[in-house]
Amino acid sequence: MNPAELPVLFWTFMKVGLFSFGGGYPVLPLIATEVVQRHHWITASQFANLLAIAQLVPGPVLVNTASLVGYQVGGFSGALVGVLGVVLPTFIIMSVVTYYYKLLYRHSLFRRLIRGFYPTLVALLASATVFFAQSSPFSWKMVVIAGLTCGAMATRRLNPFWILIGTAVLGVLL
């Protein structure tokens, strides 16, 4: 890619970091909108593949996604720029929050803010789910594996990592 695009990548992931409430998944629609639809850096299908790797590798999904998308867009420097971009706003905000943490933690407005955000986070998660369902062509194989995964998660006894390894095996066998 053109090195002149690195600042655009940085700015894009700074926006992602700034609005990444609720951890990794609710922010997926934002990343997809920016990276796939707006800048056309990667396709929806590529994005879904990167996300699968981001989930498998240890570390926060948000940071892993930033480094993988960054890598796909601009190699090693792209990965570094993506991670720095996504981390910078959260670092600044969290430092300020920590500085005033006693004040914030006791304050009921903070709790009200978190509760007020919740329905929107669930809506973003639903949107991420729809995006993911649409990123692959429909097949019964996909429905079966997704159903099995959902059921395996519901037992709450299995580690998500091993469940995903199982889905990879099923992907080859079925």
**Site membership for other proteins, residue 12 (CB under 8 A):** no
Q: Is 132 in the site for other proteins (CB under 8 A)?
A: yes
Residue 112 interacting with other proteins (CB under 8 A): yes
Per CB under 8 A, does 119 bind other proteins? Answer: yes
81, 71 Cβ separation under 8 angstroms: no
Tell me if 89 contacts other proteins by CB under 8 A.
yes
> Among residue numbers 145 through 164, which ones bind other proteins (CB under 8 A)?
145-150, 152-154, 160, 163-164
Q: Which of 48, 74, 81, 85 binds other proteins (CB under 8 A)?
A: 48
The Cβ-side half-sphere exposure at 170, using a 13 Å CA radius, reads 16
Residue from 6, 62, 73, 81 that binds other proteins (CB under 8 A)?
Answer: 62
* Contact call for residue 73 and other proteins (CB under 8 A): no
User: According to the binding rule CB under 8 A, does residue 57 interact with other proteins?
Assistant: yes
Residue whose C-alpha is closest to residue 34's, from 89, 90, 85: 85
Task: State the burial class of residue 130 (Cβ atoms within 10 Å of its Cβ: 0-12, 13-18, 19+).
Answer: exposed
Q: Computed from CA positions of residues 68, 51, 1, 85, in that sequence, does the dihedral angle turn out positive or negative? A: negative
